[in-house]
Amino acid sequence: MIDLKFQFDGTDKKIEEKEYDVIILGAGPAGITAGIYTGRALLKTLIVEEKMIGGEAASTDRIENYPGFPEGISGLELMDNMKKQAEKFKTQFLMSTVHNVAVSEEKKTVIADQGEFSARTLIVATGSSPKSLGIPGEQKFKGRGISYCATCDAPFFKDKDIAVIGAGNSGIQESLFLLEYVRSIKIIEFLPHMTAEKILQERIKQKNNVTFYLNSKLRSINGSQTVESVTIEKRETGEKTELPVDGVFVWVGLKPNTELFKGMLNLDDYGFILTDEFLKTNIDGIFAAGDVRKKILRQVATSVGDGALSAYSALQYIESLHSES
């Protein structure tokens, strides 16, 4: 079982330096990989992260499809190893909220809680966050029975009955982890079938304390002080049913963390950053990598590839500036 007390170290140090070759926004798999590559290229690199080193990957109990780990590896352990590798090549980490990014021909300036930091190039790897449900009860019970992170909150639901919303990879994979703690799970899925990988589907079907409510809409989350039940509606008939549960875990998709770049970078209709094949955005010297950009597949492996390519493109951009001067 994963050590839920695991903590990352060395991210609360005050950063005195203000000028860099590369600033990377986001310390998930894409951002840290980019930092490894730029660090090895002897580029002075700063990674700025607002929430948690490792991003969504760090909150995943077990990653089984990342090459090189035949028995799988916890997300926390994998991301901690990546961070240590980046630090080996002198990449610096800063935990801080970024409020604005100013762009000029000479530099990109990041305005954060801990000051202003400038670089010749910027890699946006801010990732994505879980989507909200937008139903009655969601806001009321956030932190009082509703969770978006099994690794973070599973111990609070020991021997409880819970609902999991979403039967994709995340919903099923995290349900398997939750079963180490909870008494039972009700999985509610909008579609008439699960969309998780077949191997995950087979594993969850073998559990005798899991009930599936497919082709069903979640209508509301109910309770007084904490979650007491959920109301679902069968899509075929419109029949509504109230299911008693002590908690709700939500995995219904992701939204890109791009609020900061609206009106600056070109985004698609869903808010993901548009890039070319070199991961360049519409602004010279700004690149995007990982789950924040428009792409077909969002996995740790694809984010790592994005991180490597964005770092290479950033290096090529800096070298082009040298050749022009």
Instruction: Report the catalytic residues.
Output: 149, 152-153
- Pick from 108, 105, 102: nearest CA to 122: 108
How far is 180 from 273, CA to CA, in rounded Å? 38
305-309: Cβ within 8 A, 24+ apart: 306/30, 306/33, 306/125, 306/279, 307/29, 307/30, 307/31, 307/32, 307/33, 307/34, 307/35, 307/36, 307/37, 307/125, 308/33, 308/34, 308/37, 309/278, 309/279
Q: How far apart are alpha carbons 227 and 222 in whole angstroms?
A: 6
Whole-angstrom Cα distance, residue 290 to residue 279?
Answer: 10
User: Cβ distance 206 to 222 under 8 Å?
Assistant: no
User: Distance between the two ends of the chain, CA-based, in angstroms?
Assistant: 55
For the four alpha carbons of 155, 157, 161 and 166, in that order, the dihedral sign comes to negative
Residues 265, 255: Cα–Cα separation, whole Å: 16
DSSP per-residue letters across 68-134: T-TT-B-HHHHHHHHHHHHHHTT-EEEE--EEEEEE-SS-EEEEETTEEEEEEEEEE---EEEPP--
CA distance 320 to 35: 20
Burial class (CB in 10 A: 0-12, 13-18, 19+), 76: buried
Alpha carbon 256 to chain centroid, angstroms: 9
